[in-house]
Structure 1
Amino acid sequence: MSSSNINLESAPLDNFSECHSGIVRHLNDLDSLVPLLEPARQAHRLAAEAVRFFRASIFEHHNEEEKDLFPAVIANANAGEERNKAQEAVDRLVREHRHLESVWSKLEPQLDAIAHGGAGEVDVEAIKLLVGNYQAHAKYEEDVFLPLAKAVLSRQGEHMAALGLRIHMRHTPLQVTPF
């Protein structure tokens, strides 16, 4: 037998071997999918939770502050420096609310798509902007505005009680009892 005959005779087996190499390569790719599945599920869950939370909580929180807390503080602040400080803080917080809501409105459809199984593009910089700005907003509110609000509203207990009651009533489901 010549060497050219050996190659012809082994060619069909070589094709099977090459086929197996391709199969193994694809199986290795498939196996690399396994560690990616849990992070993908986590991304879907986190996106869904963010959308639910913003829809149910953040906008309601802003509304309560703007409808109840901010006006109560301004109305009850002492005229002059205290009222000016309260007004400046409220103006800043309301501006920040609108900015944060604007950033969210651009992110929401992207996150909603991910929450429903999509793998679309997400503006990562917008997420970082939203998170960073909201953290700064909350810190300012906690460090500056809420201590001022407490000082202003605690001078007259009925203002704190009325504010608490309004907020409580909004968060308490109406229960109707049959006669």
Structure 2
Amino acid sequence: MTYTDSAEPVHVDAPLAEFSECHHEFVARLHSALYLPELVAAAAKARAMAEDVIDLFTGGVLQHHQDEERELFPAVVAAARPGDEEQEVRAMVRRLVDEHRDTERRWKELEPAVRLIATGGTPAIDHVLLEDLVQHFFAHAHYEEEHFLPAAQRILGRQSQDMAALGKALHTRHAAAS
């Protein structure tokens, strides 16, 4: 012990212990820095994924919905046989259009956070809403693939000119957009 004016004795090695504690803290913190390269890679991957999702919606999903609603759905309804077939097709189209609006609403809620991620931001993203969007879209695509598109094939396939007219309309729309 050394002499001090304080009432409590001070150990001579106390300052050295503080240096040692600092070293332990520095080593631990520097060790965690070893994760920086993989975290930088993960951040870059998140930005790229966010950019891809933005492109998917702005250049893919929304355009696809427009193509279906302006070209495919009206063509199938027009070619359907009056009565039960037409009623069934109209009901499927109403369901699909409603699902399009639901998908677009969910996307609009997520879009600001996804855009921030694409520019390097780290916003909180609503995981439940994201999962809901993905599950909703999977269910929508499954219904369309299993029910509507086979019906459309059957209906439009009866008259080759109906299928040709749809193809031409889609080509014209896409050529005008380019």
Same fold, TM exceeding 0.5? yes
- Runs of 4+ aligned structure 1 residues displaced above 6 Å come to none
Residue 48 of structure 1: how far off its partner (Å): 1.2
1:69 paired residue among 52, 69, 72: 72
1:174/1:37 CA distance change after superposition, 3 Å = closer
Give unpaired runs (5+ residues) of structure 1: none
Residue 135 of structure 1 is matched in structure 2 by 138
* 1:159 and 2:162 correspond: yes
* 1:52 and 2:55 correspond: yes
CA distance in structure 2 between the aligned counterparts of 1:92 and 1:53, rounded to whole angstroms:
22
CA distance in structure 2 between the aligned counterparts of 1:20 and 1:128, rounded to whole angstroms:
44
Matches within 5 A, 1:164-175: 164-172=167-175
Residue 20 of structure 2 is matched in structure 1 by 17
CA distance in structure 2 between the aligned counterparts of 1:101 and 1:39, rounded to whole angstroms:
28
CA distance in structure 2 between the aligned counterparts of 1:11 and 1:147, rounded to whole angstroms:
81
Residue 12 of structure 1: how far off its partner (Å): 4.7
Residue 44 of structure 2 is matched in structure 1 by 41
2:155 counterpart letter in structure 1 = V
The number of residues matched between the two structures is 171
CA distance in structure 2 between the aligned counterparts of 1:62 and 1:11, rounded to whole angstroms:
72
Q: TM-score, normalised by structure 1?
A: 0.87
Residue 27 of structure 1 is matched in structure 2 by 30
Residue 86 of structure 2 is matched in structure 1 by 83
2:122 paired residue among 107, 119, 122: 119
The alignment partner of 1:172 has SS state of helix
Residue 11 of structure 1: how far off its partner (Å): 4.8
Residue 105 of structure 1 is matched in structure 2 by 108
Residue 64 of structure 1: how far off its partner (Å): 0.5
Percent of aligned pairs sharing the same letter: 41
Q: TM-score, normalised by structure 2?
A: 0.88
> For 1:76-122, what per-residue CA distance to the aligned partner results, in whole angstroms no more than 9, with x for missing partners?
10000110010000000000000110011000111111111111110
Residue 5 of structure 2 is matched in structure 1 by none
The alignment partner of 1:48 has SS state of helix
Residue 96 of structure 1 is matched in structure 2 by 99
1:106 counterpart letter in structure 2 = E
RMSD: 2.0
